[in-house]
Amino acid sequence: MSIRKSSLLTPRTSNWMGVTALSAALLATTALPSKADEALADLVESVSPSVVTIIAEQDATAVPARGQDFDFESHPFGEFFKRFGTPEGFNAPQRGPAQGLGSGFVLDEAGYIVTNHHVVDNASNVTVRLNDDRTFDAEVVGTDPLTDIAVLKIDAGESLQAVELGDSDVIRVGEDVVAIGNPFGLSSTVTTGIVSAKGRNISQGPYAEFIQTDAAINKGNSGGPLFNMEGEVVGVNSAIYSPSGGSVGLGFAVTSNIVEHIAADLRDDGQVSRGWLGVSIQNVSPEIAAAMGIDASKGALVSEVVDGSPAQGILEQGDVILTFNDETVDSSSDLPLLVGTTKVGTDSTLTVLRDGKEQQLELTIGQHQSASADIDKSVDETISGTALGVTVAPLTDTTRAEMGVGENVNGVVVTDLSPESPAAKAGLQRGDVIVKLGGQETVSPDALKAALDSEKTDPALVLINRGGNQIFVAVEIA
């Protein structure tokens, strides 16, 4: 039997040389960086000097209380102390000074730095490390928990290289973006991805809007910039969704247009001045639209007007707000952001649908009052040996209007919580509404306190409302 050799194994000299030349050309093409690669490298090289590391230090604190006294699980006589009490003069164990790392960027050559509120929250000392490894003590000019933005100031003795803020409204889904920051302490780390979505609401509150990206963002990236391919900051990396704690391609950045407004306010006087209408609003559902004889379910339906507010005597219950200062209001979630970024005292124009007819109304924007003014501080403390570790406020008409909470939801709103608290570990967030605890309705801070006092099950089943969705969480309370 004869074996016929393939012509591929016995090439003619001219064909073999052609294949060799083609292979060499392909190898050369692979080895040389593309224009896109060079453009990305040039971008990173140009903006990296403006990206900084934030080092936030907290003083030593007592170990959080649990049970009647302290958490003695790691103490050799812990079980004895829990049963029979602690000796007279026994001092609470101390947690040593804590240090957190985050990211930031130079907003102004005079030394103003932007980062996240949660990076520097409760810090006793904040240090900024520049790209060239120089470090400077930083002054916290001001922070805004509702948008998770903070502004710092350092004196470097010279002008710093600042970045430009881009227009986050014009960026499109699918565009390339670059994140630079300090994940897990690895400074000047660069990751790339695309804009996965715009206008995300991740229950941070009614005044924050997020860009979603699949660029790898991890712990330590918080406060760092998200760049477009022009080298402009289009977002501040603030949060990730991750079952594991690492990046799974779901990162969220506060939009640069919000950052620009907040940073300007904080630089001015260390506080954020937000506009206020004083109305409770809700979405126009298809059923409501049909009942009102409206063709489309768009706009923000006024369900209540707050007494003494700028809207009193101008807006009416049942009005559907269609535009605010020529900006379209597609849903109730659009209005707080538009009003909140409007300067107090501004004469504004609204288009409303009233009795089936469009009308233009004018009013003067008032000063937003923080819902935290009504907080019952007692719920933040240990109560009969149980603690959630949250600060809550009642759902007043003003609070509902600010948060876009529907009238059918009753409970108390979480305005703050400790990162190490049982509530935080169970997944509760600022802006969540606690509806029930252990089967008991929590319509007020006192009702929550009573539910905590009488709860016998540990963990307790807590029903919360988050962004209009009701979910159960299990929280350890004793």
Residue identified by tokens 């000019």 is: 141
Cβ neighbours around 169 below 10 Å, total: 11
For residues 181, 183, 184, 189, the Cα torsion angle rounded to the nearest 10 degrees is -70
Q: Is 368 a catalytic residue?
A: no
| 46 in Cβ contact with 53 (< 8 Å) | no
Q: Which DSSP helix (H) or strand (E) runs through 38?
A: helix 35-47
Q: Is 268 a catalytic residue?
A: no
Active-site annotation holder among 187, 222, 297, 421 = 222
In sign, the C-alpha dihedral spanning 224, 226, 229, 230 is negative
CA distance 473 to 471: 7
Measure Cα distances from 268 to 233, 235, 236, 271, 272 in Å: 21, 21, 20, 8, 9
Could you say which DSSP state residue 222 is in? Answer: T
Active-site annotation holder among 118, 196, 265, 297 = 118
β-bridge mates for residue 52, sequence order? 104
Q: Is 148 a catalytic residue?
A: yes
Grouping H, G, I as helix, E, B as strand and the rest as coil, residue 431 is: coil
In sign, the C-alpha dihedral spanning 283, 287, 288, 293 is positive
- Give the pair of three-digit tokens for residue 112: 């103003």
In sign, the C-alpha dihedral spanning 184, 185, 186, 190 is positive
Active-site annotation holder among 148, 214, 265, 319 = 148
CA distance 32 to 36: 11
Q: Which residues are catalytic?
A: 118, 148, 222
